Structures are given as structure tokens and as C-alpha cells.
Amino acid sequence: MKVIICGAGQVGWQIARHLSHEKNDVTVVDSNPDLVRRATDTLDVQGIAGFASYPDVLTRAGASDADMIIAATHSDEVNMVTCQVAHSIFAIPRKVARLRAQSYLDAIYSDLYRRDHMPIDVVISPEREVADAAMQRLASPQSFDTETFLDGKAQLIGLHLEDECPVVNTPLRQLTDLFSTLRAVVVGVRRDGTLFAPEPGDQLFVGDDCYVFVHNEDVARTLEIFGKSARKTERVVIIGGGNVGLAVARKLETGAHRIRTKVIEMNRRIAERAADALERTIVLNGDGLDATLLNEAGVQRADAVLCVTDDDKTNMLAAVRAKAEGSPIAIALINDPTLVPMMGPLGIDAHINPRATTVSSILRHIRHGRVRGVYSIGDAEAELIEAEVLSTSPMTGQRVRDIDFPEGVLVGAVMKDGKVIKPTGHTRIEEGDVVAIFAMTKDVPEVERLLQVSIDFF
């Protein structure tokens, strides 16, 4: 597949990294020559320095025979015009645009993106994606990572194993025997900084980070088995009242569970905007690092503190201060992946990676086969892929044990006729089933091959 990626920032670079590793023909376009040079020096991609919306720049990037264009520059308007030029002049079949401004995302203006108006096939909103990720972290604050799958009936949760975990030093095969009715599968383990797909004989150790794919109804039991106490979130303090903080506060206000929320925002103008937009949420104007203000906001009585300013270091420091003032759970928004290893020593419970959530959204529309969802794990080390099995897929009609999966691939769950089941080696995969598959990045192309229709389908 020939793909043009406009914008060589963190998101564009990460998408280019994914696609180039999978032997796609990738060209990166950015007005900053240094970013283009970084991409071409570190990745197997071509680079063009220039403005992405200019037709001559897209011509040089090979737009005349491109299969897809991903507009992920820092400007909404440039991304929109780029998609228009890609459609009107080059007839590129698939156009993806990253849009930040909430006005562009309002449902009442959705007609704007029709083919005869502003032809964008897929709109990605980082703030909306990050707000959804924040809500998932708050729903399961005991886990450092979480994502929903299979029509909301299952989750991938990341759990850090501590001394009180009852199942450490136990082979995974034995866990299956001990908890035979538990619909949960350990699909990934990070040990000493390395992520891998475990085998049945592998044990879990204190200090491991494990990714568990679990049925929604069994989440509480799974947390208990892994030594985590399930707690209900009733009070939340949000530090940062910008687009992300405001979106989360709105969701908490309108949610079914009446969660008491307070927002702390340093910038007076942004704080006033948040106060005007929110009905039941108290907005405090001040420094989220100020211990007096944190106590005024009631962090010591909060179930979780969410730090979502636009500065990673501020978020981390605010999370540390909130913990010091008595908050049991602190969650920080962290863009820079090199800062994530500092979370443990600093006592930060979980983090949200905006880049990973945006990358996951874009990958969902790139993957071959009938892919319904993709979640990028860690620093693009693995993916959790949700896909519908087609009639001519090589998996159709086979038992799980007979499918030629690579070593770094595990099936987390299978949904048959709307019912989610825990797979065993004897589970037969049928046409129309939806599978959730954990795959190390190097094995994703082989998973795609197993999900694709064979040539005789056409």
C-alpha cells in the first residue's frame, strides 16, 4: 500500500514507523525539514519538505498513485485542505484527517465531510480520544492501562503485580485450572522492560506488568485474583481545564453515575470558559501544584486525581503532589514515552498516552481485513486487534489450536452471535465470529494475512 503521511510530529512519525515496518511504501511530508530528516534517518520512508496542502508538494510525494493520505499536521485547516486537494486533484481513495477544534467535530456539522463538500473519509479527534481514554482509566483506576472491545462487552486491562498478588509464581496453565470459569486471558507480559506474549508454562512474578483480556462481568473478580481491590469512583479532581479536562468533566457530569468533580485550572480565561460550560462541576482558578489549593479541592477525599494539563512534567509533578496530599490514585497525561519509566519510582498509578490513542484510531482504518478496532500497546510494541472473520479467511472453520499463529500471537476472546467466550484450543472459529487478537508488532502482517479474504473471494 502506498501511503502519504502529512505531518512528521509524534503522531505522524509513529504511524510512519508502524506502516514502514510492515513494508508499505510510505512518504512523509512536513514543512519542517528537521522533522522530515528525522523520519528519513530513523525509518525506511521517503521524505518531502514542504506544505502538505500544496498540490506540487503532493505531486512530489507521489499522490498520483497513492492509496491513502493521512493528514496529521498541527493545523486543522491544513489537514482539511490537504484532503480536499488529495480528492479533487489526485483522487486518492482514502483520506484521514486529524481535527482538534471541537466546532469541526460537532455532530450537527457532520455533512461538512461528505464527498461533495469536504471529502474526508475518517476524522480523528485527539482530544476526544484522550478524553475517552481518561474515562476508561477512571472507570478502572487499579489498572495502568485499559481499553474496551467487542461492543463494550470485554476489556484489555494492564495490571502491575505487587507482593500481595496471590497468583505470582504460578504457571498460567495452572491459573486456567484454578479459575476454570473466569473469562480472562493473560495475553501480554512486560518484564524488565521487555513485552512478550506468554506461553502456558510461563509464570508471573512480582514487578511484572501484565495485560489481561477479560469479559466485563469478570473484571471485579479478575482484579481480586491479581491482588487489586475493586473500588468505586465517586469523587474526582481534574488538574487542567483545557479541551481534555473539560471533555472529561462534561462526561462525568452527564454520566449515569453522579461523580462529584472539581477542576483546577491555572489560566483564568480557560478556567472561566470551563466554569461557563459546566453545570455541576466546581472550577478553581489556581496552580495545581499548590498544596493549599489541592486541599481546598479535597484531594485527600478524592478517589482519583487526573492530571491533564498540556505539559507532561507539570502533570507528573501534580500527580506526585496529589499523592503526597492523600489521593489514593493519580493518573497523568504523558506525551513523551521516555518519561513513562519514571512513573513507578514517582508513585504515579497510571498514565494516558495521547499519541498511542490517536495512533490506535488511525490504525483501525488502515488494517486489512474486516478490522473493527486496534489498540497500540506500549511504545508501538504490540497491538490488540479486533476483527470479524470472513468466509474465505484462512481461520474460518479451524480450531484455535490448528491455526498457524506466530509465537507472539494470542487470542484473547471470541464473540459468537453477540456472546463473548474465553477461547480454548478446541474453540472453532466460524464465519461472522469476532476475534480479539494480541500480536507483537512484528507479527501483525501475518495476523492481517489470516484475517484477509483470499484471492478467490473476488
Q: What is the 3-state secondary structure (H, E, C) of the chain?
A: CEEEEECCCHHHHHHHHHHHHCCCEEEEEECCHHHHHHHHHHCCCEEEECCCCCHHHHHHCCHHHCCEEEECCCCHHHHHHHHHHHHHCCCCCEEEEECCCHHHHCHHHHHHHCCCCCCCCEEECHHHHHHHHHHHHHHCCCCCEEEEECCCCEEEEEEECCCCCCCCCCEHHHHHHHCCCCCEEEEEEEECCEEECCCCCCECCCCCEEEEEEEHHHHHHHHHHCCCCCCCCCEEEEECCCHHHHHHHHHHHHCCCCCEEEEEECCHHHHHHHHHHCCCCEEEECCCCCHHHHHHHCHHHCCEEEECCCCHHHHHHHHHHHHHCCCCCEEEECCCHHHHHHHHHHCCCEEECHHHHHHHHHHHCCCCCEEEEEEEECCCCEEEEEEECCCCCCCCCCEHHHCCCCCCEEEEEEEECCEEECCCCCCECCCCCEEEEEEEHHHHHHHHHHHCCCHHHC
pLDDT of residue 369: 54
Summarize the confidence of residues 17-41 as an average pLDDT: 90
pLDDT higher than threshold 90 for residue 57: yes
pLDDT of residue 426: 92
Domains of the chain: 2-124 (3.40.50.720), 130-225 (3.30.70.1450), 237-352 (3.40.50.720), 357-457 (3.30.70.1450)
Q: Locate cell 510525494: which residue? A: 61
pLDDT of residue 239: 96
Tell me the pTM: 0.73
> pLDDT per residue over 109-156, tens digit each?
666 777 667 788 888 887 788 888 888 888 777 888 888 899 889 999
Q: In 3D, which of 289, 359, 376, 457 has the Cα closest to residue 98? A: 359
Which tops the pLDDT comparison, 380 or 374?
374
> pLDDT per residue over 233-283, tens digit each?
889 999 999 988 998 998 888 876 778 899 999 999 999 999 999 998 999
